[in-house]
Structure 1
Amino acid sequence: MHAVDDRPARRVVTTDAYAPFPVKADAARWGLRRTVVPTEAGPVVVHHRPGRAAMLFVHGVAGSWTTWTPLLEAAGGVGDRGLVLVDLPGWGSSPAPDVPIDVDRAVAVLTAVLDALSVADVDVVGHSLGAFVAMHLAVVAPARVRSVALVSGTTVATAWAARHPVRALRTLPAFTLLRAGLAITGETARPLLGALAAIGVLPLLAAPVFAHVRRLDPSVLDAFVDELRPAGFTGAARAAAAYDLDRWRAVTCPVTAIAGRDDVFARVSDLDALVALLPGARTVLLEDCGHFAHVEHPDAVAHTLGLA
């Protein structure tokens, strides 16, 4: 059941089903075809299918196209809609670019993908870093974006923390410490995380990211370990620090922002800050939820976006 508090700027949604679905790499389940699209940042792997009213899913840090599969499950595969799920350069199965991509290059990649698939316009759903990229796509290519949904988006507080890492130790300590740790350890962090997963310690390290790490299907943590790419994370932080969020004021399409109350990579205040930038934005706060709302509460996210 979903409990809704209809206040003027925000609905607070709770659900009794926490992380009910695993992460699956079964493209055939949703009729998805794997395609490699050449882009200016290198070849990009896309899972897609044709259909009406196409949706573009943009994952975040420690994500790939598979991170969206719990939401697809909750949404019944989103009916007969077209789907485009991208592995951004350096994530999932897409090879890493020579240098981490910034927001402009990420949008150029998405545009190349949509052009290659002959998809004219989309409803964009972005998680974490992907939410940032989704908003920038709506800024620079408004004719291609019908709506934007930000799922656990790293927006105002994260951009500020990326610019002010010392002061951010008080405002966003988890994000700031992870950024510093990955900057120091670099790619050696990946085999270290794998070793910690092998001895059963990983849940303790991942606990801040999820509201109830012990209740997750093992596939969720496996995907988290596999997709945490240090160079991509630190590059994304630099891109956020350099971005002018006032550009979002130009967005005219409908925007929905979904956040978890327990998200350590964002702040509940981000919802109000987003409304200050975009007075028409709809904001939804999920109780008992960390940084992966589409994994932790996929049913609530699906209902909020009108997909179920």
Structure 2
Amino acid sequence: MHATDSDPRPRVVAPTAYAPYPVSPTPDTWRLRRSVVPTATGPVVVHHRPGPEPLLLLHGVAGSWSTWTPLLTAAHGVGDRGLVLVDLPGWGSSPAADGPFDLDDVARVLTTVLDALAVPTVDVVGHSMGAFVGMHLAVAAPDRVRSVALVSGTTVATAAAARDPLRGLRSLPAFTLLRAGLAVTGEAGRPILRACARVGLLPLLAAPVFTAVRRLDPSVLDAFVEELRPTRFVDAARAAARYDLERWGAVTVPVTAIAGRDDVFARRSDLEALRAIVPQTRTVLLDACGHFAHVEKPDAVARTLGLA
């Protein structure tokens, strides 16, 4: 996870099987222990195990710790390395904090978790919003982060679309329309999705997010429905809109950015734009992959990050 690449073009990884593993929310499979860590913003649920060179895995807006299980399967449980999988405040089993989603608060939550687990430093792997959080953690607590991997990260284009929704309709229509829809429905969006799942419409609604939605194991879409938090999605978009991405220029650790060629929540140009801010970024583009690279192409992601 510490390699760098001087070639400015994204490396294209050879094809691998599409979504070969289910989402499996069984902590014992990976020898994970569930803990509840008190933090300044409220309790946070963590699944973890001790070990050398620990990984901190940060999910996206439609995820929790279990969303990482296809990658853990591909990476053979990442050997004997330590693992820290956090349900961020307001997602998974962690209750939402009072007030809006705040990246500085989240960074403090993560350092509190690491302190509670006696983990001094981590390699961070973040998906979507979790990638954004991971980059901010590297800015806010640089002594705790050894490297950052962005898996289908929502970065430059997403922040721009969040700042200017009218332009976002042209540049990232799927993200912009979903944000607008969830802002209207609020938490009522979750029972609507469940109702769509019951009548078989969920694959149609989720199709923009995944390259081949009908090839997914049913557990993937089940998790997508259960883990989406409409209010927190909108809060996270507002936080991205307020954020100064130039702060990432202070990041000095190795950064790897993995993107799917078919991702409708990010643009391929984000890889180049990210390198302009963080020159040491190694970029990788995955064919036949949408916004959930760690679910759709887990073997390729594991190999790229040196986990398999």
Partner of 1:14: 14
Point out the more displaced range, 140-149 or 10-19: 10-19
Distance 2:100 2:8 in 1: 40
Output aligned runs, 1:1-308, within 5 Å: 8-308=8-308
Partner of 2:3: none
What letter is aligned with 2:34? Answer: R
Distance 1:40 1:164 in 2: 32
Distance 1:97 1:44 in 2: 10
Distance 2:201 2:99 in 1: 32
Point out the more displaced range, 113-122 or 12-21: 12-21
Residues 195-218 of structure 1 show CA distances to partners (whole Å, capped at 9, x for unaligned) of 100111000000000000000000
Residues 65-88 of structure 1 show CA distances to partners (whole Å, capped at 9, x for unaligned) of 000000000000000100000000
Point out the more displaced range, 99-108 or 86-95: 99-108
Distance 2:289 2:280 in 1: 24
Aligned residue for 2:208, secondary structure, equals coil
CA positional deviation for 1:100 = 3.4
Distance 1:40 1:270 in 2: 34
Q: Give TM-score, length-normalised by structure 2.
A: 0.97
Q: Give TM-score, length-normalised by structure 1.
A: 0.97
Is the contact made by 1:157 and 1:267 (CA closer than 8 Å) also made in structure 2? yes
CA positional deviation for 1:8 = 4.4
What letter is aligned with 1:202? Answer: L
Residues 217-238 of structure 1 show CA distances to partners (whole Å, capped at 9, x for unaligned) of 0000000000111111000000
Is the contact made by 2:8 and 2:272 (CA closer than 8 Å) also made in structure 1? no
Distance 1:272 1:208 in 2: 23
CA positional deviation for 1:13 = 1.1
What letter is aligned with 1:180? Answer: A
What letter is aligned with 1:50? Answer: P
What letter is aligned with 2:68? Answer: W
Is the contact made by 1:61 and 1:229 (CA closer than 8 Å) also made in structure 2? yes
Distance 2:240 2:105 in 1: 13
What letter is aligned with 2:192? Answer: L
Is the contact made by 1:23 and 1:223 (CA closer than 8 Å) also made in structure 2? yes
Distance 1:95 1:49 in 2: 22
Calculate percent identity across the aligned residue pairs: 74
Is the contact made by 1:35 and 1:45 (CA closer than 8 Å) also made in structure 2? yes
Is the contact made by 2:16 and 2:299 (CA closer than 8 Å) also made in structure 1? no
The count of corresponding residues between Structure 1 and Structure 2 is 303
Larger RCO (alpha carbons 8 Å, 6+ apart) = 2
Residues 175-204 of structure 1 show CA distances to partners (whole Å, capped at 9, x for unaligned) of 000000000011111111001001110000
Aligned residue for 1:149, secondary structure, equals strand
Distance 1:10 1:263 in 2: 15
Unaligned runs of 5+ in 1: 1-5
Aligned residue for 1:39, secondary structure, equals coil
Distance 2:219 2:296 in 1: 13
Q: Indicate the RMSD between aligned Cα atoms, in angstroms.
A: 1.0
CA positional deviation for 1:14 = 3.2
Aligned residue for 2:166, secondary structure, equals coil
Q: Which has the higher strand share?
A: 1
Distance 2:96 2:135 in 1: 23
Distance 1:247 1:204 in 2: 38
Is the contact made by 2:16 and 2:300 (CA closer than 8 Å) also made in structure 1? no
Partner of 1:3: none
